[in-house]
Chains A and B, each alone.
Chain A
Amino acid sequence: EVQLVESGGGLVQPGGSLRLSCAGSGFTFRSYWMSWVRQAPGKGLEWVANIKEDEGEKNYVDSVKGRFIISRDDAKNSVFLQMNNLRVEDTAVYYCARRGVVGWGSYYFDFWGPGALVTVSS
């Protein structure tokens, strides 16, 4: 059974930093792109970042470029999101998601974790 579990959420002041972790199990972690998707309170889903196998490629939504860093440790079946210079508008539930693929251009999120709440407030 595929499982993803996030950890590391919490309350942080504006300008502060936080590191989210996501542990995967039940699948060959090193063979998949992994992503972070967030959802602000009462709002829709927003893709944040993804990372290729072997960290060969990393992509970010414009609003977090230069502030967030995605990384992975395949030996520990884990993906991370280092969030720096946090803003009030970064407040959200952050989901870790596995990215499935059919072929070039056909990507989807087939498994999601329960999410970790990040609150940025003074």
Chain B
Amino acid sequence: SYALTQPPSVSVSPGQTASITCSGDKLGNKYTSWYQQTPGQSPVLIIYHDDKRPSGIPERFSGSTSGNTATLTIRGTQAMDEADYYCQTWDSRTEVFGPGTKVTVL
């Protein structure tokens, strides 16, 4: 079955840029979405179709894909961005989530 990999954790200072990677076999030939989840809350869609932002999502969140890796970038990271982030794609009629990355704003 298809699998995605993410780093378990990423640390970033307030105001700096955080980059979260998501890797999978031929991921560049698929579409990736990203979700933010804070403790006790439901996930929130922040990026879909590799680089599209839903309405209401701040511009500091952006997505890109190159080769086998999708990247979520948070520019000007704020304390409120401290959360778990999950990538997701679709393969052979199944939805696949990455294991998640905990972003800590130090």
Interface set of A (CB-CB < 8 Å, partner B): 35, 37, 44-47, 50, 57, 59, 61-62, 95, 100, 102, 105-115
Contact = CB atoms under 8 A, between A and B. Distances in A.
B42 A95 contact: yes
Given A102-B31, A105-B31, A114-B42, A45 B97 contact: yes
Interface string B28-48: 001101010100001111001
A44 B54 contact: no
Given A62-B1, A102-B49, A109-B35, A45 B43 contact: yes
- The A contact surface, by secondary structure, is strand
B31 A45 contact: no
Given A102-B49, A109-B45, A44 B95 contact: no
Nearest to B97: A45
Contacts of B49: 102, 106, 108
A54 to B, nearest CB: 17
Contacts of A57: 93
10 shortest interchain CB distances as A-B pairs: A47-B95, A108-B33, A106-B31, A108-B48, A112-B42, A44-B100, A45-B97, A102-B49, A59-B93, A107-B90
B43 A112 contact: yes
Interface string B62-98: 0000000000000000000000101010100111111
B45 A110 contact: yes
B97 A46 contact: yes
Contacts of B44: 112
